[in-house]
Structure 1
């Protein structure tokens, strides 16, 4: 069941001009699962070739985990609500996802939906992510990020690859899959529900749940590409 990013409400006027200096962001709760050390290592690999870059983590966490990022010059927003988090993400020139384990992060869907190039860490749990956007290690991530920041063709190729990869993560496909899953006939003693109506109801329930999770986690929601 494909997840769908809800970013239509985000104010994108700030994205009409590229951020100066270029802005690379991470996002989520700063904890072992998000592996801030991996993100920090990528930052360290990028600094020599791009000393003017700005690095920002949208979210917060335990002081010790935050220090791992601050030591390499990464700024942190701290906890913020979903709208502020997404508006900050929309200003980025690249989103770098460093999680050590995950299903499929909602933040990747949101970044691509906002037109922000994405570089992810290679994970066994999510095979098939675009090769032009998947890093084997922090040094490789640094090279991929540097490419989308300095080469317009690579930036466009990154977004095109993600959009192709995520082409089924849209409302129509989600509704159709929900209809197939829940609208397959009448059960004993129950009134049959029209598949499309049920699909819409379940979709709206999922959206409400995602908004609640994002608010509780300070706008740093993550989820799965597939439910």
Structure 2
């Protein structure tokens, strides 16, 4: 990854990679944590699905934008259920036509960052991976991961104290991860994980409201570039 970062930074300095402006940055930033289905990009519900403001492009502009990002080596467009890839403008136009994002049923093609695309994004945002965290839940089992031990402890304290969840005493198991796969494209030397069990508690709207204000969401782990 370090080599990709140096290569991308060098190409950017030499002007050999497309100039990333506000519009093209949106497409990189949208897939930092996970890949996205192409159909989402043209959906009327894009802001609800992605929890971010729309890219602002018209439908006819989407395929050319992705094609230019592919040509620059910043993203890749792949089919979910096969080794199929789309690189050229005609291929990406076909990929859009074959993709769907119906509730509970996504299919077709997805796009995500390449190593060079991730490095280019990092060079613009000054990402601090020690402040990045993620997590998942499966019933009563929960897992949190973070790039810094202090942050992992903060996130565990936050989520394990949620009123609607009752932490099972002694269930927390900590693990040091070397290396740590922070995202599908980014691996860092060190990460921390905690797995724990929490049973569903009684819902109390007032208690949840108080909890949310006592435990604010973590501060941003990267900067938004100015264009």
Q: What TM-score, normalized to structure 2?
A: 0.27
Tell me which structure has the larger Cα radius of gyration: 2
